[in-house]
Structure 1
Amino acid sequence: MRQCQATAVVPPERLLFAILAGQGRVLSSELEYATARARCELPLHHPGQHADHVWDWNHQPTHALWARWTTGGTTRFESLPWCETPGGPDADACTLYRDHPHPHSWTLTDDPRSEAA
């Protein structure tokens, strides 16, 4: 199944504020991994808001920080638990957040040729 193509700007000062609010501190060297642009990780034509994983919590490995937005809307940040449903080709867990619109991450691709045939 195809992955959503929606993108959004991730304001760096708002992302930093969300990280600091969630874990209290962050090293400047860690910020090199922060993204300035989000790309939705959900399936194409999914219901609700777009979502992109933007930060792994140091103190809470069962959750991650996600950027959430609607088309033309403001980007906001939300700490969500990982889906962790097993079943990928290597028995990997789903890398989306819990209660995401189905299907799971291992069935999604951004290659348009994947549905041709």
Structure 2
Amino acid sequence: MNQCTVIALLPPPAHVLALTAAPGHHRPEAGHILCELGEHHDGDHATMLWDEGTHPASAVWAHWHTHRARLLPHSWCAALDPRDTDHACGLFAGHPPGHSWDITDPTDEAITHDLARQHPHLSR
């Protein structure tokens, strides 16, 4: 399945902006985020922002729908790739159907295909 292609502009949280309000401080800017779930999923869109890695539910994911975004801590999905059991799913526990190994980034696939066409000697 292809990856969901919904993007959102995530502004910095108000408390972060307040910390940088003093003159001479660099103000954080909004940044675009891309949903990491499979296309046509149910519920909110989601992308992982960072992982503190020190305890369960240490990965912080942004979840959004239309104009509402939330930052939520999650544990990692414990499913292992049946083709290579050394690799676990790269999504959060309880994510909608489609583990990370089932999801293809269509943009990445298009670039790879185009590069292979332009430079066939590199794709052998």
* Global fold match (TM > 0.5): yes
Higher mean displacement: 44-53 or 72-81: 72-81
Say which structure, 1 or 2, has more relative contact order (CA 8 Å, 6+ apart): 1
Does the 8 Å CA contact 1:96/1:105 hold for their aligned counterparts? Answer: yes
Superposed CA RMSD: 2.6
1:6 alignment counterpart: 6
C-alpha distance after superposition, 1:37-61 (max 9, x if no partner) = 2111111000000000001115326
2 CA distance for matches of 1:63 and 1:69? 19
2 CA distance for matches of 1:63 and 1:88? 25
2:37 alignment counterpart: 42
2 CA distance for matches of 1:110 and 1:58? 25
1 CA distance for matches of 2:7 and 2:82? 25
Does the 8 Å CA contact 1:94/1:104 hold for their aligned counterparts? Answer: yes
Q: Which one of 45, 51, 57 corresponds to residue 56 of structure 1?
A: 51
Give yes or no for the alignment of 1:81 onto 2:90.
no
**SS where residue 47 of structure 2 aligns?**
strand
Structure 2, gaps ≥5 residues long: 18-29, 111-124
Larger strand fraction of residues: 2
Runs of 4 or more consecutive aligned structure 1 residues displaced over 6 Å after TM superposition: none
Q: How many residues are paired up?
A: 96
Same amino acid, percent of matched pairs? 36
- Normalization by structure 2: what TM-score? 0.66
Q: Which amino acid aligns with 1:55?
A: W
Does the 8 Å CA contact 2:49/2:60 hold for their aligned counterparts? Answer: yes
Does the 8 Å CA contact 2:57/2:73 hold for their aligned counterparts? Answer: no
